[in-house]
Chains A and B, each alone.
Chain A
């Protein structure tokens, strides 16, 4: 009896609560959508276009009802939808893509999961190796997808006493802000979606919606420019992630200003420069392809960007379309005529850009060009000569503080991450001691501690040389020269500018990596920019090196098989033979 009474009582309470909840919900919804009939007990969100009147059709290949993409399969058939929260904002998000996009794009999704865009294996494994957390940088062990081991969570029980323990936290809170699983910080230039939409749904730099959907607030940032899906992806979309001093930004001629507030310059009509990607930028000469209006996707095809099913360990080993596919090169027959963008024109070959189908005359490799006559240059990457400048960020000091004492970041809060900046600024307000929090970009949760970064000096004019995985001479950049500091919650300095040790015990965890600066000039740099140049030969920028200028002497790359110049190679570069001088004279006479 008492049991039955109890049950009845509980049921009645439940029903009451449900009614109350529904009532409140309706009230809230009514407040939110005042044109809904107030008297109605049920607000039907299934009639999407009632509110979202004027919304763009996503694209011609996806002429589906809204529910098809934005509701879980079980809810799609219902004619009535009372809970707006059931609507999936981004069906292509990493958690939803398989259910929503999967039925049609199974292979694409599987391949994307193996791509570096998704696994982030290069960043993760190299950094973990350099900080001593794993004994090899590749083949990749850890990654965010592609069957790789997930990156360990930095729990409160872990007391980081070495760089090997700290590295995962560093990756999670500093480096992995850019990946397709989570959104990362919000701010001008970095508004974007996750999953497929990270690339295929375009966001403007201001993050504002520019379409005709009546329900979307056009003054509130964080929305795609239009409700459309596209494969014609302009550079600005790539740069939502490929910014800071990394490839992508260089293609557009962007080089970050130094962090200190004294570099917020110049004033234009009395206003400080626009902040994009969390910082302001120098504008350097753009890549000639960029000048002509070519898009990233003109060279970077679907397989490079979305994966080919193979799990790669670092960027340079991903097969890409080389320069020679379009331009020809040493011992090459000429352009790849099967290239979908190459056409025959009246006066030679034409390149058809994905940027609105614009046509460009395709200049070909001239074997009579000075640099091209040198046989030994067949082993030199095109970019090693044709890059006009490169990212040379020397000496990376990083500090994790669980407690900030004696505030020092006042003029150094701008480090290219608006969330971090907000946190550091908030700490500046507390007079003595602050216990900062910052966001783990993988879990999306905030944790105690914050990572700040500073450099020794950043340059664009230096271009040291090394050898890449294809046995070609390439430009090196520092990635990175770490000095790691950790201050715990008690204010104890656990690590004091510690130099990490590589995981295989082979030396300090500093590395220079070969890369392809996207700063192509239509002609090569002068011979003497590499030959007879100690900085290019890896000997540093001054005769007597100090603790600071010694940073311009490269450390070996993190990946085996990639290397610095051997002493005899550096010697030949510095003291070229008489024949070399003769060739140069011919070119310059």
Chain B
């Protein structure tokens, strides 16, 4: 029977997919490549897989340690501790960013009179509750909700297909402006968001029941989620056109509003809003959990659950204070793509990998 904190491979699969969907499903992540966004997503996928493989490698070296713990092992405690702590803070920041995005989107589409504090508070309360309950509850929740999200996705796709609003020609030309813009939006933008974000799972992998499966399962999940994301964005572009897509704040929503089947099945906005809420919830909770895990590890706190409240409250406050308007929030995001995100998502992991390799080379002759 299940132990007190063990995750099955199916649950990991479900969580990674839900996590990848997060906000990527509804936001225009392929802004710069417009009609080729679906292609950019697929192009960024291999890098995502390599990154995951890198994480798996580090995990296999230190199967019982979470991210901050094995950072300390690899580069020594004096450098490792601050780096680990920084990761904790970084995760909190990203969690707050996600909350802000979701909150703003919800307010823009449906809740325009509601203060943002309230919208965020509702979400954060639930996040704190789930983090407090522990990783197993979170993953079991994911196992249940993945079915739900897939069903939602299928329903909306079918509705769009049946409504006949798809114009495949809107996806062409593919090479109109050359390969440049497509690749440029794939790297580093799409690679960083959403693919490299799987680094949060490095805090959860030690709880996995069967370690060997983690690699395959993760790859499969990344593959599946990128295919689904790509398809969704392709549908979005073909329904609303590339011009509107690149100007939209919430293209999936705009696309769904045009769907009308048999004069009765219309106004499926609720489905998209639901998908947004669920996706953001899992992403946020995963980040919050990762942050809690790291903080508990860095400060040697035994009861991780206690940290849920303070970290949750911090995330809540940061999400409100981080930007005073949605465009500024977006601008911050774009800037962060070139500054802090690569540090945490590319440079440090690669550095860890290299240092680990070097250590192994040196330790082999001596052992």
Asked if A and B are interacting partners, one says: no
Which B residues fall within an 8 A CB radius of A? none
